[in-house]
Structures are given as C-alpha cells and as structure tokens.
Structure 1
Amino acid sequence: MKKSILLLALLLLSINAFATETKLMVRAKAKDAKFVGSSIGGAHVIVRNTLNGEILAEGNTTGSTGNTNLIMKSAHERYTQLSDENTAGFLAVVDIEEPTLVRVEVLSPVHKKNARIQASTELWLIPGKDILGDGIILEIPGFVVDILKPNTHQYIALESIPQSGLPIEAHIVMMCGCPIEAEGIWDSNLMEVKAIVKKDGETIGEVQLTNPTQNTFKGAMTVSEAGYYQITVYAYNPQTGNTGVDMVNYVVRE
C-alpha cells in the first residue's frame, strides 16, 4: 500500500515537473468606451481548457478604466498599446505541459445582472509563451440602465400623482461606468432613451426621457387609472449600436 502511494506521488511530481507556468492577460473593454475595472465591480473572467472544460484560471478584472485621451481621443496605429500598468485586467497564470486550446469567457459587468453581457473567444496557449500588455481584449457592448423611479413593486395612490404626470427616472452609464451627458465624450444627444409603458399587460404608450444632468434621464407619464403597470426603459445609440434595458413593475391604486 505504501509503495503504491509512493509511486502515485512520484507520478504526480513527474507530471508537474513538465508543466510550465504561462501568463495570459485578459481585459474587458466597453464598446465605444473604456476598460471594465474596479469602479464598476470588474468583469468576471474564466479560462477553460476547451478539450474537457477544466477551469485553468478564474477571477475578476481590477484596476482603472484607462487613459481617456489615449483610448477615446487619439488615432491608433498598429501595435499601439491602449493599457498601462494601472489599467483593469485579470492576469491568468496557468500551468500547461503542451500547447493548449483555451476558451476565455468574460461576464461583464459582473455585479449588474440586468446589464451583464457574456463574451468569449478561443486561442492557443503555448507553454512559457506569455501574452501580456493589452493581452486579450473582449468587447462588451451596451449600456447599464437602472430605473430609479418608480420603484419595484411600489404602491402609488392615484390621487398622489401630480398633474404633470408620474415621474420616470433612469440612471444610465457606459458598460465601464463612464459618464453620459449632453456634448460629453459619451454624448446623450446621440442616444434615444424611452420608457415603454404597459398597464395590465397591454402597451399603452411611450415616454421620451431627456438628459438634464450627467447620467440621469427623466420624463413623466399621465396616469388616469389604477392598475398593474410595467415600465421598460431602453437606451439606443444608432451610431454605435449600443443598447441597454431595465424593467420595473409597480401598482397604481385608487
């Protein structure tokens, strides 16, 4: 028995002796924006062996969203590195014995379930041949949309709704958390933001939302009847194709 255990231990040691540490930098970058980092909770990264699904490395991207001038305002020539030592990323360190085809999966932003996008790619890792610098960059399209008013399952008295209408308010940012405002780098004037309103399961209209302050979009809807209501707020930029959605249900009572 002891001999068998010893042989097994020697076998495992011999296998590990041939494995080579290999590093892979993985980054998530919002479409038409910057890198997904600590300020929005990061992107979750999984590196798998495509042959058997084994997870070789897993973790979240951490760091800053990157250099705005370099990423958003400068022309990029071939081999231009967009990241620096502070830019958000996840350094996967794996031990492999031979060239291995891996799948890199990213869930981003990891803490925003209604906005979370999964992106993936595959590549060969060669033992000891690190992929650093910008590394592998996965693009994350969309907007993070959070409806602030009305609240989920809020009961609202019909008589309490002002003549100007029931306030609708949403907070919208890029997928990296970058700010949206009129005439800004991420210009709200290029976006269409509307609330689709349903009552008792039937669509009854749309409300245009405007952007009076950074990241905030507001509007108001006329309400004349009690019922079960649902609001779906969407954001759409036809120039980039970015989209985002959030939904909320509430009750208007007599």
Structure 2
Amino acid sequence: MTAIAVLLVNGLMAAPTKVTVRVKAKDAKFIGTGIGGASVLIKNNLTGQLLANGITTGSSGDTKLILQSSLVRGQRLTDEKTAKYEAIIDINEPTLVDIEVIAPLSRRGAAIKGSTQVWLIPGKDILGEGIIIDLPGLILDILSPTSHQAIQLSSLKQDVLEFKISLTMLCGCAITKGGVWNSDEFEVKAILKKDGIETGTYSLKKLHENNLFSGELKIKETGSYELVIYAFNPKDGNAGVDKIGFVIQ
C-alpha cells in the first residue's frame, strides 16, 4: 500500500467529533436550565441512526451582549456559562446529520420544534459558539379561570368574569412595561366561545407584576365555554396561544 493510500485509510478511521448545540428564543436569549433546557437529537441523515441526544444546560446568557450591543462579524454571543449541549460522536467519514431540538422542556404546552442540518467531518470539532438554532414563540398560560372550573352565574358581578394570564418569552425572560421585552409591543386578546360558537373578542391589559395580563368577559348565560387567548408581536412574529374550557352553572 502506498503512503498516500495509508493516509487516506487513516483519515477515514472513526474519530470522536465534538459538536456544541445551543437553542435560542427568537428576539430573546438562550434556552437553558432555568426553563428546563432544550432536548437535542442528532441523527445520521442517510440512515436515521440516532448518534447523540441530550439536554441543553446553563444560563440564558448576557442580555446586554445578546440584545443591546452592536455586534461585528465573528463576535460571540455566548460564553462558557451559556446554555449548550455538547455531543461526542464517532464517525469515520464526512456525515450529514439532522439536528432536531424541542424547547422549552419545562413548558411542554408551549414547546416549539426546530431543526437544521450540518456536515460533520471526523475529528473536526464544532465548539465555541457552536450551532445555534433559533425558535420562535411565546409561553402563554391561562391562570384563571382554571381548566374545567365550574362557576356559578350568580357569583359574577354585573355578568363579568375576570381572567388572568402569564406571558413570557420562550426562554422564560420577563415581559414588562417599558422593559427589554416591552408589553406595549404585544397584542394580547381573548376569544370566548359558548357551545362552540364565538360570542366575543376581548383585549387584555398589562398588570403591574411582570408577565401578568388580565381582562373581563361578559357572560349572561349558563353553559359550556371555551376561552382561547393569543399573544402576538408584529415586530418579530413571535406568538403564543393557550385555551381552556370552563362551565357556567
């Protein structure tokens, strides 16, 4: 065997290859331990074989650096504390892989799936900033009324039912009045249905506490109701939805 052939064979020997994956909320920060992290799956694109899987851990990152700084080419958004998952994959030839992520894991009702593809070369690590996958979305939770709650019509004052939600960025970052994620930029509305038929649309107002919004529903009849609430930011397209059913007796 010639020296060139030996080199080629050696070059194709299995080599541990490190891959860093990070998951970031669109127009926000990284998804890490504080919000349950992001699930990461790395698969061989050709065979579908699962090569690695894990969860991102670490902090959501530096707000000023990520969102309030003018970045130049090559400047990092992350440091060693920023949430990531680092896989070690043994491959013996250049391999196209699919990377799939789902986040945030602690709020599965709001979790979003994202994916990308990348070529891995044996022994050529992808470290530092790594591969960053952006996920759009918002975490919206209806706090009251509660799911399937039975409410007496006679208990309502002037046929008004107050309701409340919590709204955060997908990374768990707070939405506040005039803050980095300014509540004034979000359209937050409720759609009320009775026995499957829409009866009204209502706007919510921001409460003093971080993330909290409230509104009032006009209800005059007993029956089964469904409450659908959405939040939308036209500047970046982020949206979140939650829905519950409740009964007026």
Indicate whether 1:33 and 2:28 are aligned.
yes
**1:154 aligned partner:** 149
Give 1:136-155 correspondences, 5 Å limit: 136-155=131-150
Give the Cα–Cα distance (whole angstroms) in 2 for the partners of residues 111 and 51 of structure 1.
32
Q: What's the offset of the Cα at 1:165?
A: 1.5
Matching residue's letter, 1:238:
P
Matching residue's letter, 1:201:
G
Matching residue's letter, 1:240:
D
**1:71 aligned partner:** 66
TM-score w.r.t. the length of structure 2 is 0.93
211, 226, 229: which one pairs with 1:233? 229
TM-score w.r.t. the length of structure 1 is 0.91
Give the Cα–Cα distance (whole angstroms) in 2 for the partners of residues 216 and 100 of structure 1.
47
Q: What secondary structure is seen at the aligned counterpart in 2 of 1:189?
A: helix
**1:245 aligned partner:** 241
Tell me the alpha carbon deviations over residues 106-140 of structure 1, each in whole angstroms, 9 at most, x when there is no partner. Answer: 00112322211110000100011000111110011
Whether the 8 Å CA contact 1:164–1:220 is kept in 2: the answer is no
Give the Cα–Cα distance (whole angstroms) in 2 for the partners of residues 163 and 91 of structure 1.
57
**1:5 aligned partner:** none
200, 203, 211: which one pairs with 2:198? 203
Tell me the alpha carbon deviations over residues 26-47 of structure 1, each in whole angstroms, 9 at most, x when there is no partner. Answer: 0110000000000100110000
Matching residue's letter, 1:221:
L
Give the Cα–Cα distance (whole angstroms) in 2 for the partners of residues 66 and 234 of structure 1.
27
Give the Cα–Cα distance (whole angstroms) in 1 for the partners of residues 186 and 176 of structure 2.
10
**1:214 aligned partner:** 210
Give 1:68-217 correspondences, 5 Å limit: 68-163=63-158, 165-212=160-207, 213-217=209-213
**1:52 aligned partner:** 47
Whether the 8 Å CA contact 2:98–2:115 is kept in 1: the answer is yes
- Tell me the matched-pair count: 237
Q: What's the offset of the Cα at 1:164?
A: 6.9
Structure 2: segments with no counterpart, 5+ residues: 1-11
7, 13, 17: which one pairs with 1:18? 13
**1:12 aligned partner:** none
Matching residue's letter, 1:64:
S
Q: What secondary structure is seen at the aligned counterpart in 2 of 1:80?
A: coil
Matching residue's letter, 1:215:
N
Matching residue's letter, 1:52:
T
Whether the 8 Å CA contact 1:37–1:43 is kept in 2: the answer is yes
Structure 1 segments of 4 or more deviating over 6 A? none
Give the Cα–Cα distance (whole angstroms) in 2 for the partners of residues 248 and 116 of structure 1.
17
**1:11 aligned partner:** none
Tell me the alpha carbon deviations over residues 133-166 of structure 1, each in whole angstroms, 9 at most, x when there is no partner. Answer: 1111001101000000110010111111222711
Structure 1: segments with no counterpart, 5+ residues: 1-16
